[in-house]
Amino acid sequence: MSLNLAPDEPAAAQAPTPAAAAAPALASALARTARATATATAEARAPLTPSALRAVVRELAEQPDQWIHLVRLSTEERWYQRLVADDDHEVWLISWLPGQSTGFHDHGGSRGAFAVALGELEELSLGGPEQGLLIRRVPAGTARAFGPEYVHDVRNTASGPAVTLHAYSPPLGSMAHYDLRAGGLVRTSEEGPEQW
Ligand SMILES: [Fe+2]
């Protein structure tokens, strides 16, 4: 007895489908693919939530082997490098020497989060009329997350360097800077990715 595991004419079992019969099936398949692609694209472009971004930076901050060899320190300005550039979010690694700060800025409508992996930062933001200026200590092991309208100033007021992980979704498209004056925050300039 012999088993015929490799039929001689496998193609014969798949007789060519007449074009007229195949066309509706093909059109239907293409439509399904187009719908699936559109859905996948929409899902890929949906921004991550602040809490999802916080989870991203927290997890990375706990894995220094992923980025510690990349860290540089710059006396000129904060040093930064992008670690992830996806359609729906990006992740940056930033180092801060004592005294280095961002100044008040927004994130161009992106949601964001940052985690302090090494050192300690201070974050300033404006609360409601009752609260005024809020100052938060953000030590190593902690993270902050924020929505698309958030404006803050982050600074290293400690005596040693700090290293942080930042995630934004959608990826940053612009960033406006503000001055804190007696009447509140006044927008002073805007920068785009070409300046980063
Ligand atoms: Fe920021």
Tens-place pLDDT, residues 78-108: 999 999 999 999 999 999 999 999 999 999 9
- Measured in Å, residue 12 CA sits from the centre of ligand 1 at 64
Can you give the pTM of this predicted structure?
A: 0.77
- Measured in Å, residue 125 CA sits from the centre of ligand 1 at 10
What's residue 22's pLDDT?
53
> In whole angstroms, what is the distance from residue 196 CA to residue 81 CA?
9
What's residue 131's pLDDT?
86
pLDDT in tens, 17-55: 455 455 666 666 666 556 655 555 555 578 999 999 999
> In whole angstroms, what is the distance from residue 10 CA to residue 44 CA?
40
The answer regarding whether domain 50-195 maps to CATH 1.10.10.60 reads: no
Average pLDDT of the residues in 146-165: 98
Query: What is the rounded average pLDDT for all residues in the chain?
Result: 86
CA-wise closest residue to 121 among 148, 96, 90: 96
To 5 degrees, how large is the angle CA 142–CA 148–CA 152? 55
- Measured in Å, residue 153 CA sits from the centre of ligand 1 at 7
CB contact burial 121-159 (16+ within 10 A = b; e otherwise): bbbbbbeeeeeeeeeeebeeeebbbbeeebbbbbbbebe
- Measured in Å, residue 168 CA sits from the centre of ligand 1 at 9
Domain locations in the chain as residue ranges: 12-45, 50-195
pLDDT exceeding 90 applies to what percent of the chain?
Answer: 71
- pLDDT band for 178, please (50, 70, 90 cuts): very high
Torsion sign (Cα): 46, 51, 144, 179: positive
- Measured in Å, residue 69 CA sits from the centre of ligand 1 at 24
